[in-house]
Amino acid sequence: MSSRTKLAVAIVATFLAVSGVRAATRPSGPAEALMNFWLQGLQKFVSKSISQFGTTFSDGMQNKFEQIISAIAVATAQEAISGNVVAEAHRQAGMMALASAKAQQENTELLNAVSSFAPRLGQGYDLCGTMYKNKAMTKAYADLAARARAKVASLDVAPGRLAKDVSRAMLQRLSLHRQKFCTKAEADKGLCTESALPGGDVNAALLFEPAPADSLQATARTAYIQHVVGTPNPSVQPKAGSAPDGQNYLISQNRLDAMRSAAAYSLAVIDAKNTQNVRMPNGAITSPNELLKLRVNQYFGGKDAQDWSDAMAVQSQRGLTVEAAKMAGLSAWMEYEELKNLYRSNVLYANLLISASDAMRSELDNLHNTAGSNAATGAIK
């Protein structure tokens, strides 16, 4: 039972008791004195209970108030902390989003750089190997003219060269043929012993086959060029060369050398293109034409073309553009070499036309001499 209920019960009982006693007793008697004693006791009890209730109630109210204040403070602190946590979470989320975007951008830039400049993705096919082939091929073909001139100058029928003894020079050619290029037919006749390269000095096919500079094939090609150009020009004595006939001979010999030099030079260029004198990184010795074949085979046929096709399948747009530029450069270079070949062909065609006109020139000279003779005869008459 609560304190409030106990207090109410005590008050009601007191009033009932007082009412009953007063009804049963008379005033100023012993009962009145006893009643007064009881009433005083009850009054003290009631006063004490009321005082205790007030104190207890006040203490309870104070405790409740303090609890409410404490709860409000805790709630306020928690709400403030919650706001800070949310703000900090937003800040950290923003920083993480910024870091993620930056990392994504850096990753994209890295991927772009790798795809644009990595050898397998953005530099075309075999960057270093192709560059070496281009440089080696350019150097080899740049030296062609000098090597062809040296070859022509080494011939016994070189332009401007006069043989002291033409017969001896021709015997030397015949001796070289029987020693190194004796054919089976000649061997059967007992003229010489069949060689490892029979008829090599009269075989034009050897000009178009690659061969080392110090090989038997190279010697055969030099002998072939001499046979094609013709016999050496005989020399003349100084006194004979000063005479009108000697001077006419030397003039005609110069014209013949000029005409034959175009053919000799063209043959020497073909020889130089197929002479193996270029050293590759793997130690192999190759010719300029073999270098060109290696370069072109990169795009057409063979294992190199397969490797090139596989590499193109993974190239980026930049890599494909670089490879297209390489192919265009190779095409331009080959067209330039073809132009030089065309120049030599034009010289040969001009020589052929001039040579064909020599017969007409001879006929004109005869007609001129006849006309002069007839005029002189008529004047005498």
Which residues, listed in sequence order, are joined to residue 285 by a DSSP beta bridge?
Answer: 279
> What value does the mean pLDDT take over residues 278-302?
84
Instruction: Tokens 């190779």: give the residue.
Output: 330
Instruction: List pLDDT tens digits, range 176-229.
Output: 999 999 999 999 999 999 999 999 999 999 999 999 999 999 999 999 999 999
Q: What CA–CA distance (Å, rounded) separates 231 from 166?
A: 8
Greater confidence (28 vs 173) lies with 173
Contact partners, residue 81, CB within 8 Å, separation at least 6: none
43 torsion bin: left (phi>0), alpha (psi -120 to 50), beta (else): alpha
Taking the CA of residue 319 as centre, how many other CA atoms within 13 Å lie in the half-sphere pointing to its CB? 24
1 half-sphere exposure, CB direction, 13 A CA radius:
8
H helices, E strands: number in the chain? 13, 6
* CA separation for the pair 105, 47 (Å, rounded): 86
* CA–CA gap between residue 30 and residue 263 (Å, rounded): 176
| pLDDT at 379 > cutoff 70 | no
State the average pLDDT over residues 360-372.
74
Q: What would the mean pLDDT of 282-308 be, rounded to a whole number? A: 84
Confidence label for 266 from pLDDT (cuts 50, 70 and 90): very high
Instruction: Report the percent of the chain where pLDDT is more than 90.
Output: 31
Contacts of 327 by beta carbon, 8 Å cutoff, 6+ apart: 299
pLDDT, averaged across the chain = 80
At 175 the pLDDT is 94
Separation between Cα atoms, residue 55 and residue 49, nearest integer Å: 10
Q: What are phi and psi of 314, to 5 degrees?
A: -110, 5
Q: What is the pTM of this model?
A: 0.65
pLDDT at 371: 73
Q: What is the mean pLDDT of residues 361-370?
A: 74
Dist CA 120 CA 118 (whole Å): 6
Classify residue 163 by its DSSP letter.
E
Beta strands in 236-379 (DSSP E): 275-276, 278-279, 285-286
Secondary structure (DSSP) of 272-284: HHTEE-EE-TTS-
**Residue 24: which pLDDT band, with cuts at 50, 70 and 90?**
very low
Q: 285-286 and 278-279 as β-strands: parallel, antiparallel, unpaired?
A: antiparallel
d(CA 95, CA 83): 18
- What does the pLDDT look like over 336-352, one tens digit per residue? 999 999 999 999 899 88
Token reading at 196: 């490892």
Tally of CB atoms within 10 A around 233: 22
Q: Give the residues across from 278 on adjacent strands.
A: 286
pLDDT tens figures, 44-77: 776 777 777 667 767 777 777 677 777 777 666 6
Residue 360 has pLDDT above 90, yes or no: no
- Structure confidence at residue 23 as a pLDDT band (50, 70, 90): very low
Q: Is 180 or 139 the better-scoring residue by pLDDT?
A: 180
pLDDT of residue 61: 73
Question: What are 183's two structure tokens?
Answer: 């054919």
Q: Give dist(CA 99, CA 79) in Å, integer.
A: 30
Whether 310 shows a pLDDT value over 90: the answer reads no
User: Which residues does 291 contact at the CB level (< 8 Å), separation at least 6?
Assistant: 133, 136, 137, 140, 278
The pLDDT, as a whole number, for residue 380 is 59
CA distances from 304 to 16, 36, 172, 296 (A): 128, 135, 47, 9
Residue 342 or 119, more confident: 342
- Flag whether pLDDT at 11 surpasses 60: no
Q: What is the mean pLDDT of residues 129-145?
A: 85
